[in-house]
Each structure stands twice: as structure tokens, then as C-alpha cells.
Amino acid sequence: MCVFPPSVDSFVSRQLLNSHSWERPLVESALKTLGASRFKKPVLLDLGANIGTWSLAAATAGHQVVAVEPVPRHVEMLRQSLRVNRLANRVTVLLTAVGSRGMRSIGSHSFNQGATKHQLTTTMKAGTLVQSAQVDDVVTLSSSHVFIKMDVEESECEVVSGMNKLLSTNTVIGATIEMHLSTQRCCRENAWWDAGGVFHTLLTRHHLCPKHMAIYHASCNNTRAYDLEFIRCG
């Protein structure tokens, strides 16, 4: 797998080099869920794929993947990893930001490449520019059953607002959402718990339950970033 030197990526790449894994419990839980629905040929939707740890793990396990990533260097590394491991036929890689429609300026990070952020821009200023679109505009799934992994560095609110069609026309078999402080604010403001909200939809339409109820009940009022998991109830 292609990784950065630890000097410029002291989290994901360093841990991959040291332990050959990243977010192992979350990835293993997702693979278990995908495997349990194998006869339905579920797809992993990897929103914020970074250099591809989730996508590569799912593809290696035989699953189809749609990997969405806005940073050109990350996409280049992911595609190279797929070629080397002969997994390119299982992963559709989309070089795009997801959120509000428009152009986005990609930032940089000196020691944590996975924390690279982007913002909407109306000027062709210096820097890397990428197209931004709503999930419903760019994501086409090969199956109606999908596991959603969302790690989009504080763009979760914009992403959720642009995936209504995906949530209403497919079966979500599981989800992992990284919640930042800004995400928690819009979670409260947009009433994600109430009818029509993303949490309510996952619970009622897709029959998912929070893996950790205590975390879920504090999900819009926490004081730190964390991962919120939804799994099949029962």
C-alpha cells in the first residue's frame, strides 16, 4: 500500500508502517457487516477515502467499493495501491469533494495528511482546486445495499444534506460517521434525531441501531471528535 513518509503523516501512514492497520476495530466491524450481507453484493461507500485503508480492506475481502476523495495526491496513491494489488476492478475512485456544489480550494497539512481540509471558493487563486458536488450527483452504486463510511473533516453537514436520494432509494446496512465539534452543532441545528433527520432515517427506515448507545445519546453534545457507528439492530 502506498503511504506517506511518517515525517509528513504522523498518524495514518506512521501507524500503517508500524502496525499494518488503521482504525482496525472500525474496519473489521464494517467488513463483518459487509460479509454478513454478501449474497446481496453490498457496496462500501468510502466518503473521504484518504489513501485508501478502508477501500483496500473491503476490496481485498471481495467487495465492491466507491471511494470518494478530493485530494489529488491521495487519489494517485490509492489508484497505485489498487494497481499493485490487482484490485482496480473492484473500486471506483472519484476525484471530487462532496458537499455543496462549486469549486473548492484544497488546503495542506504539515504532519497529518488525513486532516487535509477544503473550502468553497469563487476565485481561481493559487492552490489546488477541485470540483465539489453533492453525493447524489456523483455516486452511482452497483448494488442497492450499501455501507457508508464518512470521514470528511468537518464537511459532514454538507455531505449529509446532499445524500437524500441515496438514503431514500437504497438499503443502508451499516454506517460509521466521524463526528467533529462543528458536525455536532449542525446535528443539533438540523435536528438529525427528528423525523427526516439522518439519524432518524438510519434508525427507522434502515433499521440500524447505534453500536454504543451512550455515545449516540451524546452525539450532538459531545466535547470531542469521535466515530459514531450504526449496525443492524438485534
Of the candidates 2, 228, 18, 4, the one whose C-alpha atom is nearest the C-alpha of residue 116 is: 4
Q: Are 154 and 184 in contact (CB under 8 A)?
A: no
Q: Are strands 128-133 and 97-98 parallel, antiparallel or unpaired?
A: parallel
Q: Are 169 and 205 in contact (CB under 8 A)?
A: no
Amino acid (one-letter) located at 78 = L
Q: Give the chain's mean pLDDT.
A: 92
Of the candidates 172, 168, 169, 180, the one whose C-alpha atom is nearest the C-alpha of residue 48 is: 180
Q: Is the pLDDT of residue 122 over 70?
A: no
Q: Hey, what domains does the chain have and what are their CATH numbers?
A: 22-98+136-232 (3.40.50.150)
What is the per-residue pLDDT across 68-106, written as a single tens digit (0 to 9) for each? 999 999 999 999 999 999 999 999 999 999 998 998 888
User: Which string of DSSP letters, residue by residue, matches 48-65?
Assistant: S-TTSHHHHHHHHTT-EE
Contacts by 13-22, CB closer than 8 A, 24 or more apart: 13/51, 13/113, 16/53, 21/53, 22/53
Amino acid (one-letter) located at 111 = F
Q: Are strands 208-210 and 226-232 parallel, antiparallel or unpaired?
A: antiparallel
Q: Residue 126 and residue 59: Cα distance in Å, rounded?
A: 36
What is the per-residue pLDDT across 156-207, written as a single tens digit (0 to 9) for each? 999 999 999 999 999 999 999 999 888 888 898 999 999 999 999 999 999 9
Q: Residue 33 and residue 38: Cα distance in Å, rounded?
A: 9
Only one residue has cell 477501500, namely 55
**154 vs 50, higher pLDDT:** 50
Max distance between CA atoms of the chain, in angstroms, equals 52
Q: Is the pLDDT of residue 23 over 60?
A: yes
